[in-house]
Amino acid sequence: MTDLATTISALQLKNPTMLASGIMDEDVGSMQRMIDCGAGAIVTKSIGLHPREGYLNPTVIELEYGILNAMGLPNPGIDIYGKEIKALEKTKIPIIGSIFAANAKDFVTLAIKMQHFGANAVELNVSCPHAKHYGLEVGSDASLLREIISSIKHQIHIPVFVKISPNIMNLVEVAQNIKNAQADAIVAINTVKGMKIDLETGQPILANKTGGYSGKAIKPIGIRCVYDIAQNVDIPIIGVGGITTGEDAIEYFMAGASAVQIGSAIYYRGPEVFKHICKEIDLWLRKHNYKNLYELIGAAYL
């Protein structure tokens, strides 16, 4: 086996496959199962200050080439969810707490609590495409985003990752802004905003009408975003979007990602997908005479 270890800021990962936010991370049991299935790190679902039910169903549908969802950021609130994170304190696998809020003050409160409950890093969700006042609405405001990141960096010592959206025109500018605010890594990309209309009723199927598209179809979009950021901004990148196989992950590493996140592929290949992808990465690296992952990162532009 080749060395699949990777580093993102202060985090050491035994392998580069992380569980993406919002998938199988409802509680300690589901996250533990993903760890047992080989995930190199876990990103929690996005957590806010207060309990939030999210949207009514349909919230998730599977289309020809990907999955469309509009959950609406359901979560039990940080004080309740914190217990699920705390219950994972014995694991050696890094736990990254995903958080969302509408302003810097609430983001700071959440980040401090995440650190307190034992998270090894925080991931700022400033890119959810379907929640009013949150997510992408926050991430599209450059000065607010800078204020959020700087405020958090002054208050916690664990790394701060920022998950960004592909639904923006000025991607590199936003990435540079994130880097300037001292964030430790960029996670690219969140889902692509989309819609599915039922022909018989003439209605959008998702209760929220629009949602975020993930899975195989969005991989080229993610690859392009990672590549553009890696070429222009000196910051570690975690690639996410449509990674289903080891070769998909390799492509993201070549584009400049130091690690990858996996979500929809759990639908396509089951929870064991982490082990499968690691095995496939290992096979590919050996076949192409690489000794470790580091030699591969950024190969597409170096």
Partner 1 sequence: MNIPTITSIVTSFNEASDIKTITFTYPGDVSPGQFFMVWIPGVDEIPMSVSFATKTMKGITFRNVGDATLALYQLKKGDKIGIRGPYGNGFSLKGKHLLFVGGGTGIAMLALAIEQARKKKLKATVIIGAKTKNQLFFEGRMRQCGATVLVSTDDGSTGYKGYASELAKHVLKEKHIDAIYTCGPEQMMKTLLLYCKTIPFQASLERYMKCALGLCGQCCIGKGLRVCLDGPVFDGTVLKKIKDFGVYHRDASGRKILF
Interface residues toward partner 1, by CB under 8 A = 22-27, 29-34, 36, 45, 51-54, 56-64, 67, 69, 71, 74-77, 80-81, 196, 198, 200-201, 203, 205, 207, 263-264, 266-267, 270-271
Residue 36 beta carbon to partner 1: minimum distance, rounded to whole angstroms:
8
Residue 223 beta carbon to partner 1: minimum distance, rounded to whole angstroms:
23
Q: Which is nearer to partner 1, 92 or 154 (CB)?
A: 92
Tokens 């802004």: give the residue.
Answer: 177
DSSP string, 258-300: SEEEESTHHHHH-TTHHHHHHHHHHHHHHHTT-SBGGGTTTTT
Q: Which is nearer to partner 1, 143 or 201 (CB)?
A: 201
According to DSSP, residue 46 is labeled P
Q: Which is nearer to partner 1, 120 or 264 (CB)?
A: 264
Give yes or no for a cis peptide into 67 (omega within 30° of 0): no
Residue 128 is among the residues annotated as catalytic for this protein = yes
Give yes or no for a cis peptide into 94 (omega within 30° of 0): no
Residue 299 beta carbon to partner 1: minimum distance, rounded to whole angstroms:
31
Residue 276 beta carbon to partner 1: minimum distance, rounded to whole angstroms:
16
Residue from 37, 128, 225, 278 carrying the catalytic annotation: 128
- Which residues sit opposite 20 in a β-bridge? none
- From the centroid of its chain, how far is CA 236? 14
Q: Which is nearer to partner 1, 134 or 227 (CB)?
A: 134
Burial 199-229 (b: 16+ CB within 10 A, else e): eeeeebebebeebbbbbbbbbebbbbbbbbb
Residues 6+ apart with CB under 8 A from 45: 21, 22, 25, 26, 75, 81, 98
Q: Which is nearer to partner 1, 148 or 206 (CB)?
A: 206
Residue 272 beta carbon to partner 1: minimum distance, rounded to whole angstroms:
12
> Which residues are catalytically annotated?
128
